[in-house]
Each structure stands twice: as structure tokens, then as C-alpha cells.
Amino acid sequence: MFVDTATVTIQAGKGGDGAVSFRHEIYVDKGGPDGGDGGNGGDVIFEATENLNTLIDFRYQPELKAEKGGNGSKAKRHGKSGADLIVKVPMGTLVKRDGVVIADLTRHGQQVVVARGGDGGFGNAHFKSSVRQTPRMAERGEPGDAFTAELELKLLADVGLVGLPNAGKSTFLSVVTNARPEIADYAFTTLTPNLGVAKVDDGELLIADIPGLIEGAAEGKGLGDQFLRHVERTAVLLHLVDAYSNDIAADYTTIRDELQRYSDDLAQRPEIIALTKTEGLDADIVEMQADAVRSVAPKSAQIVTISSTTHQGLTEVLRLLRKQVEAARKELEPTEEEGVVDDMPVISLGAQAKSEAWTIAKDEDVFVVRGEKIEKFARRTNFDQYEGVNRLRDIMKKMGIAHELARMGAVSDSVIRIGIDEFTLVEQLDK
């Protein structure tokens, strides 16, 4: 079964919690803090491979979860970091989060971290200082990224075959490549895309055959919009038209119109037009049909005649395709001036300022604080440890949050909410 879309839930590993511990050794009076840090949670990493050509595995494995980090322990022993989860996907897979593409895997062996594991929390040994000799607090590990992802496969090929149903695409693919698509003398024999490798002199061409298109394909008629995605990445289009057609110009125009409706870029892709099944026709009739197509085709399009049955013209068209593909791929290569774009994030002063920004809003009697940095500290705070909560209060003072809360009318016992956690502005002693 060919599957080109899938929905999965992705969960990176949670970071391990830091430990609160103190040295207890004979002859060692008042041993200091020795709680170790928690280990980092594992990442979820997608890796493209040429050994897969469908997303069907994700129908049976819709949950992708990396290992969580281990908790810290005494004697400053750090928790073990969780193992990364490496997920194999076919080349040409797009990973979307909330409809936005976060990864585009096009090369064999290419890896992308799609979800990062949470950082491990610091143990109390981390917080020892000259003024805090016996800290009784440790951080919680942060949760890893978690979201629902949409996977979409767009076949990677040099040449995309397009044409009306029964135009001879599958027969052409079976003759010039190692593919074995289903072939019959009726429309819609091909119901799923097929890939094949054609030998051309001392090189190869990867050719994709998609199910025959019909009028309205760009809007989804006959599942055309689903199939058209598989020729979006091809360098060159080979447009096959049946030479026996009663209106060959209309047949050609129908497909061209659908390509245009689907994507302007796809419609402008380099194109070679091949008249198929010419083995039983007189040369004059073939030339007349070619002239009819020529009258409606772009001036840049080359028109050839082929017969998959007698192999007439096949070598010539493959050589033309290879030449076109090499030219198209060369145009896509980055120039020396452009260089290679590094996909690593660049931290700027603007990004730092955004991270430290915060807002305060009132939800009835609760003051709700939001902000990337302060929420990160709150997630790492163990609210069962009063020293940990007091540390969070100190951070709020340094960031100016406490001052703004007071200006907005917050008093010592006012409830503050950051993320999912609530606490009072000032530590409340038991009465």
C-alpha cells in the first residue's frame, strides 16, 4: 500500500529532576550538598533514507516518544541523558507543525531535530555558595517538546510523467525503467505513484509516474491534487499524449490547464511533449497530430514521437530528458557568491530581548505572568521546596516583575500564576 500522508504525535524526552542530598560520611562533620543534576531528555530526530518510499509505517506507529532523562542522585551523580529517537522517513518527506513546515528531508542520511528534549534540572550541589552553604532545593527537569505533526511525502524524481488516463505513461515507465506498474487497456490502471530508474548512456534518471489526470484535478477531482504533489519536486516534465486522440490539442491543453491551476511554478517547469503509440500510424498523420499540439504548446517545449511497443524514439527522448534535467539541476545549485545557507539558528540581540520579555494580566484575583524566560524558570522550579520557590521570587525581582506586580496592587499573599503553577508573591509563614 502506498501512503503519502500521516499524522503522528511527537514527544521528546522530559529532563530528569535534580537531587537534594547532603554528604553523610563518618568523620565528616556537616557534609555539604552533593545532589547531582538530572539528565537531559532525548530528542526526536527524523532521518531521510532512500530505502523507504511510503509513510505506511506511521499508520501502525502514530506515537513517537524519545527517552526521558534520569534523575540526579547523591554523591553528585548526574542522571543519564535519555536516548534520542531516530525516525527513518522516505526522502521527500515534509514535517508540518500547525500547518507550518518545520523540516524538509530531501537527501539520503539528512537528519533534522524536530523536537528537543527537556533540560535536566540542577541538583542542590549546583546552588552552593558562600552565602548559601546548605541549599535545600533542586530544579525539576523541563518537559520535552510535544505536538501533533503532519507528515507529507512528495516523491523526489528527475522526471515527472503527466498526461490523461491511458496516455501510455505506465507502459513507458515499464519499458525504460525497472518499475513494474500495473498496465491495462483502460483508464485509471495506475492508482498510486510509481518510481523507476532509467539507464541513459553512462548515467541514470529517476522517473515518477502518477495516476492519469483529468479535468478538475487541481481542485481534487479524481484525487488529482493529491497526485500532483508528487511532480512538484521533479526537474522536468514529460507530457505524454495519445497520438490516436480525436482532439489531441484539447487533450494536451486539459493537462496544461490543471498544472497551471495547481501551481504556477509547476506549469513553468521545463517540458518535453511525447506523442505515444505512434507505431500504427502513417507519418503524415503523426506529423499532423504533432502540428496540432505545437499550435497550443509553449514555444520552448520540444515535441517528440515515441512507441513503447517498438521502442522507437525511447533512447532519444531519454537523452533529451537527461540533458534537460542536468540543466535544470545546475540552475538550482547555489552560486559561489550565494554560498551555503546554514540551517542553524542565529541568536541575535533581538531574539534575546524577546526571550526576556514578559507580561502580566489579572484573571479575577490571580496575577498571570507570561514570558519565555520566566516560564522556563517556573517549569524548572520544584514548588514543594520553599527555597526553590524563593529563588523564583528572587528571579522575578531581578527581572522587574515583582516591582510591576506591586504597582498593579499585588500584596504579600496575592496569588501569582506562571504556566500551570501558582504561589504567593511573598512566602507565607505558618501562623
The pLDDT tens digits for 234-260 are 888 999 999 999 999 999 998 888 888
User: Which domain, by its residues, includes 54?
Assistant: 5-153
Same domain, 289 and 377: no
Determine which of 139-153, 350-364, 380-394 has the lowest per-residue pLDDT on average: 350-364
Domain boundary among 302, 332, 362: 332
Confirm whether 50 is domain-assigned. Answer: yes
The arithmetic mean of pLDDT across residues 126-144, rounded, is 86
The arithmetic mean of pLDDT across residues 3-26, rounded, is 87
Mean pLDDT in the chain?
A: 82
Inform me whether the pLDDT recorded for 431 exceeds 90: no
Same domain, 91 and 118: yes
Same domain, 163 and 285: yes
The arithmetic mean of pLDDT across residues 334-344, rounded, is 43
Inform me whether the pLDDT recorded for 144 exceeds 50: yes
Confirm whether 344 is domain-assigned. Answer: no
In this prediction, residue 27 carries a pLDDT of 62
Confirm whether 224 is domain-assigned. Answer: yes
Domain boundary among 124, 153, 182: 153
Same domain, 142 and 183: no
Confirm whether 398 is domain-assigned. Answer: yes
Determine which of 52-61, 80-89, 92-101, 137-146 has the lowest per-residue pLDDT on average: 52-61
CATH number at residue 393: 3.30.300.350
Confirm whether 179 is domain-assigned. Answer: yes
If one counts the domains in the chain, the total is 3
Question: Which residues are bridge partners to 275 per DSSP?
Answer: 241, 305
Determine which of 143-152, 158-167, 359-368, 384-393 has the lowest per-residue pLDDT on average: 158-167
Inform me whether the pLDDT recorded for 101 exceeds 70: yes
Same domain, 145 and 167: no
Same domain, 388 and 271: no
In this prediction, residue 344 carries a pLDDT of 41
- What are the cell numbers at 400? 522587574
How far is Cα 337 from Cα 12, in angstroms, rounded to an integer?
38
Phi then psi for residue 265, to 5 deg, are -65, -40
Domain boundary among 153, 168, 192: 153
158 vs 24, which has greater pLDDT? 158
In this prediction, residue 226 carries a pLDDT of 56
Burial class for 146, CB neighbours closer than 10 Å (0-12, 13-18, 19+) = middle
In this prediction, residue 276 carries a pLDDT of 92
How far is Cα 228 from Cα 10, in angstroms, rounded to an integer?
28
The arithmetic mean of pLDDT across residues 19-35, rounded, is 78
* pLDDT band at residue 206 using 50, 70 and 90 as cut-offs: confident
In this prediction, residue 339 carries a pLDDT of 39
Confirm whether 341 is domain-assigned. Answer: no
Same domain, 54 and 130: yes
Q: Are 198 and 177 in contact (CB under 8 A)?
A: yes
The pLDDT tens digits for 53-70 are 788 888 888 899 999 999
In this prediction, residue 40 carries a pLDDT of 94
Confirm whether 367 is domain-assigned. Answer: yes
In this prediction, residue 197 carries a pLDDT of 83
Inform me whether the pLDDT recorded for 349 exceeds 60: no
Confirm whether 346 is domain-assigned. Answer: no
In this prediction, residue 184 carries a pLDDT of 39
In this prediction, residue 53 carries a pLDDT of 76
In this prediction, residue 148 carries a pLDDT of 94
CATH number at residue 135: 2.70.210.12
In this prediction, residue 85 carries a pLDDT of 96
| CA atoms 138, 142, 143, 144: torsion sign | negative
- What are the cell numbers at 254? 486539459
CATH number at residue 206: 3.40.50.300
Same domain, 146 and 163: no
Same domain, 73 and 187: no
Same domain, 133 and 219: no
Q: Using alpha carbons only, what angle is made at residue 309 by residues 213 and 2, rounded to the nearest 5 degrees?
A: 40
Question: Closest Cα to residue 122, out of 139, 137, 136?
Answer: 139
Inform me whether the pLDDT recorded for 347 exceeds 70: no
Same domain, 316 and 383: no
Same domain, 30 and 61: yes
